Amino acid sequence: MSITVVGSIAYDAVKTPFGERERMLGGAAVHFALAASFFDRVHVVGPVGDDFGEAELQAMRDRDVDVTDIERVVGGKTFFWRGEYGWDLNSRETLDTQLGVFEGFAPKLSSQSRSSDVLFLANIQPDLQREVRAQLPAARFVALDSMNLWIDIARDSLIAAIESVDCVILNDAELRQLTGKPNLFSAAREVLTWGPRVIVAKQGEYGAALVTAECFFSLPAYPLETVVDPTGAGDTFAGGFVGYIAAHLGGGELSDELLRAAMAHGTALASFNVEEFGTERVVRLTDEEIAGRVAELREITSFSGAPTL
């Protein structure tokens, strides 16, 4: 299989208690693609400006990511985001957002990108997500991310987009906002009735939960003594999760077992991502490191069948 991702390709300026970067490679599609590249071939769809550097493209190519559908808009500027994190990294303030070439973005997919069996609609305007979704009618697994902004200003379109996918990956607060249900489990079950078969609730430092019609699964974040930069953690999680599914779905069903293992791989990828700024850690990650961390995650969540009473 191969995976197509549509979403932002960006330069980020980030300040955390552990340092800062003035202009580093970022964006949801980039974080997703680098993570998913450990499992399968990824085609990235999204716009950049004249200012987007060769080195950044090469960082993706080095992970065998297909960048031919990254559209360079002449005279345009690459999406730019500046943010600063608080002392415990759980709060962040957006100081600047320059949409640049994203303002007039109309996704153009090559035949290769359209032939993927797996599609990830990263957080962009829901109308665009639906437009891309429609271009891969035969995809076997389609997942979607979004954000509070679209719930606020484009709720109907977002719900239509959600109705068209297999899997929704949102923060738990976004699931609550989207459904108006304060209980996370109820909120996830509500979204299941709209069409998707799989709901993933990202819970930041607490990990993530998976809800399907038959199954509930929860996994803590990997414990780190130092988190340097959480930027892109959610998209990196999604890359590991969706990437693992793409690599292992084959001709089979989306089993609970597969989804749980995918959660573990997403969690492992995200834990590496936050150890350094931006994409710095993930670009030099190895398969062995990922496998090692998945094994550690199993170890820190296992308890034995000691007799109860």
Residues at the interface with its own copies (CB under 8 A): 17, 38-39, 87-89, 176, 182-186, 189, 203, 205-207, 209, 216-220, 223-227, 247-248, 257-258, 260-261, 263-265, 287, 290-291, 294, 298, 300-306, 308-309
Which residue, 128 or 264, has its beta carbon nearer to its own copies?
264
Which residue, 24 or 263, has its beta carbon nearer to its own copies?
263
Residues in the chain: 309
User: Which of 198, 212, 200 is closest to 165 using CA atoms?
Assistant: 198
Q: Write the CB contacts of 22 (distance below 8 Å, at least 6 apart in sequence).
A: 13
Which residue, 207 or 278, has its beta carbon nearer to its own copies?
207
Which residue, 121 or 282, has its beta carbon nearer to its own copies?
282
What is the smallest separation between the CB atom of 44 and its own copies, expressed in angstroms? Answer: 21
Which residue, 99 or 295, has its beta carbon nearer to its own copies?
295
What is the smallest separation between the CB atom of 249 and its own copies, expressed in angstroms? Answer: 12
Counting other chains too, the contacts that 192-198 makes at CB distance below 8 Å and 24 or more residues apart are: 194/159, 194/162, 194/163, 195/162, 195/163, 195/164, 195/165, 196/162, 196/165, 196/166, 196/167, 196/168, 197/166, 197/167, 197/254, 198/143, 198/166, 198/167, 198/168, 198/254, 198/259
What is the smallest separation between the CB atom of 110 and its own copies, expressed in angstroms? Answer: 27
User: What percent of the chain is helix, strand and coil (3-state, nearest 5)?
Assistant: 40, 25, 40
Residue 242 near residue 118 (C-beta atoms within 8 A): yes
